[in-house]
Structure 1
Amino acid sequence: MTPTPPTPTPTPTRPADTVFELRFTSTPRGARLARRLTSYCLDRWGHPYGSEVNDRASLVVAELAANAVTHGRVPGRDALLRLVRDGGLLRIEVGDTRGEREPVVREAGDDEEAGRGLLIVGALAESWGVAARVGAPGKTVWAVLRAGGPGGSA
């Protein structure tokens, strides 16, 4: 029997501390975990709890994750949170496995309890949009926030 030579490990294109990924269950509990770990991750990246960047990013993740588990849920399939820090910008991506349901921005009536999430995301983000997931079925809703340097405000 001939031993198999080791395969080389690819060199990452980004330092490990600039990307965070989490698969979370498509449940309210999973969405809450995504929000809390976003806050923790940003604290570790130099944006402390209670800072403007940490609070805004946590709110955007809360809205996108809630939408993913409410409208993009496929039983037995997880959602994906991905945070990418690139210079002074933070890209937030939340992917779900339901590609046929595109997010809809609408004005909620005064007496409605839901329907304002993407308006909040649009107000907090520099830009946002929807893309097909790469390598998996479904869609990814993304938002880009101005993050400034570690410890700084946006």
Structure 2
Amino acid sequence: MGEVTTQIWCSAHQFGVQLPATPRGARQARQLAVEKLRAWGLPTDGPALIVAELAANAVTHGRVPGRDFQVVLSLRGGALRIEVVDTRRDRIPVPQEADADAEGGRGLAVVEALADRWGVEQGPPPCKAVWAEVDLPTGGSPEGS
């Protein structure tokens, strides 16, 4: 197996990471997001689940062999924005009701329940970004911002 390179970029109000589109990459996305959210002094539970669900979708449904996915966290306008970019622009996620016995299929329902807003943006071909925003508590400002 070849060497895996993870690219990370960071500023006072933005954090991004490029990871391999594998289950391990999805786990790393959640772990790195939790670390950054803690560093910013923000709650981790809801946003970490959103990152986990969107990253899992990117590696399951948005994967193209040999191409990575990106996770970007940014603080703007009193909200935390979570974006996951994959290279399957042709596969737009749509929430669906999962069968009671199904092991999967509830990811976007989780995102919809935890986020204040979410959506999909077409990027430059072949990319798309699935994003979610969580409003931050009024008067609370993340550390380091």
Which residue, 64, 73, 84 being the options, matches 2:63?
73
What is the aligned partner in structure 2 of residue 106 from structure 1? 96
Structure 2 counterpart of 1:82, which letter?
V
Aligned to 1:19: 14
Q: Would you say 1:55 and 2:45 are equivalent positions?
A: yes
Partner of residue 40, structure 2: 45
**Segments of 4+ in structure 1 off by > 3 A?**
none
User: What is the distance in 1 between the residues matched to 2:67 and 2:49?
Assistant: 23
The answer for the alignment partner of 2:5 in structure 1 is none
Q: How many corresponding residue pairs?
A: 131
Equivalent position of 1:142 in the other structure: 131
- Normalised TM-score (structure 2): 0.86
Q: Distance in 2 between matches of 1:75 and 1:132?
A: 20
Q: Percent identity?
A: 52
- From 59, 78, 81, the equivalent of 1:88 is 78
1:28 aligns with 2:28: no
Give the 3-state SS of the residue equivalent to 1:17 in structure 2.
Answer: coil
In 2: Cα distance, 1:31 partner to 1:147 partner: 24
Matches of 1:113 and 1:104, distance apart in 2: 17
SS, match of residue 43 in structure 1? helix
User: Which stretches in structure 2 are left out of the alignment for 5+ residues?
Assistant: 1-9
Q: Among residues 111, 116, 121, which one is paired with 1:121 in the alignment?
A: 111
The structure carrying a bigger strand percent of its residues is: 2
Distance 1:86 1:17 in 2: 11
Deviation at 1:39, TM superposition (A): 0.4
Which whole-Å deviations, capped at 9, do the CAs of 1:16-58 have from their partners, x for residues lacking one? 21000100100000000000000000111012xxxxx311000
What is the distance in 1 between the residues matched to 2:109 and 2:98?
Answer: 10
* Distance in 2 separating the partners of 1:110 and 1:87: 38
Larger Rg: 1
**Unaligned segments of structure 1, at least 5 residues:** 1-14, 48-52
Q: Secondary structure at the match of 1:57?
A: helix
